[in-house]
Structure 1
């Protein structure tokens, strides 16, 4: 996992020009724990592919995360983007706005891996990304 994280951080830095941070701590958690950490109902537990905690600078991956899955690896890359943002004190009008860069880099990385429809692999679309990356009064 250490070499995978190092490779992803190097790629993110090459794309953003930001400084490479130390490796974050990675925790494997149950779907219920993932939902709890996200503040979502447990019924939504299977929706979460990965999670970055800005407060404790840790990445949480589901127990069934596999390094041979492009979807899983892209989720790790997405959360590493948030770690790079956090460690470089990237400023945004709200926390949600940080999602745009993370999704854009995730999609770019997937396309570089030969994926034709990166949105399908992740299970999202441009409208959803727009919605989750838009600042709201309560974000």
Structure 2
């Protein structure tokens, strides 16, 4: 049985911008597509796996969240205008999957975290926070 800790996540918006986040098992990096060409993005973090979500707010501003697992801990990385920073979510886990939507002038984030036990835990953010554990149950 193989146990690879590599992953890829992608977000997109508009007509068309892409951000691809890939792990080589040690580091997560970003490649970007805008206006017909690929280039290396600014994001880089130590980590084995990654998931990502994005949304565009009412003013047209793009927001990106990357959830990076490093040594059994998942940390949120945020892009809100012009730089990356560490966000509010930090939880134990080995893998995650993320989605976001913008409604009623608020962002809603759901991150589904695989714990070491195999349990999947839903982490939720609605508007101004804080993060809370959702009602989803699964494995």
TM-score, scaled to structure 1:
0.29
- Could you say which structure has the higher strand fraction? 2
With a CA cutoff of 8 Å and minimum separation of 6, indicate the structure with the bigger relative contact order.
1
- Could you say which structure has the higher helix fraction? 1
